[in-house]
Amino acid sequence: MKLLLAEDDPILSDALIAQLQSAGYEVEHAPNGAVAQYLLDKQAFDIAVLDIGMPMLDGLSVLRQLRQSARQLPVLLLTARDALEQRVEGLQAGADDYVTKPFDLPELLARLQAILRRVRPQPVPAAIECRQLLLDPERRRATLAGETLELSGREFDLLQLLLRQSGKVVTKEEIAKAWGAEGGEPGGGNTIEVYIHRLRRKLEGSALAILTVRGLGYLLEQEGNA
């Protein structure tokens, strides 16, 4: 990630550059707004951090020129704590977020990551096809032999996990972790067994079988490939 840091305070700049580089960013520093504008015209960046109160050309002016050029570069503003009018003006001019001075460096890093998550396109999970079963993670739909397979949210997540590790044992701990990652409560052993039983019933008549590997977990097997 290439980041433009436009900040005229040398002490703050040095601290920010060190922290940003430690976090994995490639940093270009501009000590004033004019240099920031030049760098934005000449180089490609993934995100910019602009101090509003810079000499020669203030951060709001740099931001406005950036947006007038129709560039969608994400921008985080650094503002004085009492500059409410400037913060509002910055958001209206097209800033993605702002941090007020003084600030903690972990907060700045977290806000940068949040902006990048919002603006960067997320990869679309590929559909999974196994025998007559087709699972579409993007639409969260499943079909078996061309017919819609009615699945609850947890059943879908469980089936997807088993399919992605087809032929390998999936432990109860992995299943509970996957459910927890989706925002649900991690399921206990008995809960998992209930969902395994439901999936087995829904896969009846297909060439797929969910086997219990005692003491280890569960295995999705394609009949005829054993």
**Stretch 167-181: mean pLDDT, rounded?**
85
- Phi and psi for 119 in degrees, rounded to 5? -90, -25
Give the torsion sign (CA, 70, 75, 80, 81).
positive
Report the amino acid identity of residue 57: L
Distance CA 92, CA 103 (A): 22
- CA atoms in the 13 A half-sphere facing the CB of 193: 6
Straight-line distance from the first to the last Cα atom of the chain, in angstroms, rounded to the nearest whole number: 46
Q: Nearest Cα to 131, choosing from 206, 199, 200, 196?
A: 206
C-alpha to C-alpha distance for 172 and 63, rounded to whole angstroms: 51
Q: How high is the pLDDT of residue 219? A: 94
pLDDT above 70 (res 225): no
| Fold equal for 2-119 and 128-222 | no
Check residue 186 and give its pLDDT: 46
Domain boundaries, the chain: 2-119, 128-222
CATH topology of domain 2-119: Rossmann fold (3.40.50)
How far is 142 from 129, CA to CA, in rounded Å?
10
pLDDT one-digit tens code per residue, 155-170 = 999 999 999 998 899 9
Residues 35-90 pLDDT 10s: 999 999 999 999 999 999 999 999 999 999 999 987 889 999 998 867 778 788 88
Strand partners, 2: 26
**Highest-pLDDT range among 24-28, 82-86, 153-157, 220-224:** 24-28
Q: What is the pTM of this model?
A: 0.56
Lateral strand order in the sheet of 2-6: 26-30, 2-6, 47-51, 75-80, 97-101
Residues linked to residue 79 through DSSP beta bridges, in sequence order: 100
CA-nearest of 75, 118, 66 to 95 is 75
- CATH code of the domain occupying 128-222: 1.10.10.10
pLDDT at 122 over 70: no
For residue 149, the number of C-alpha atoms closer than 13 Å in the C-beta half-sphere is 27
Mean pLDDT of the chain: 88
d(CA 80, CA 90): 12
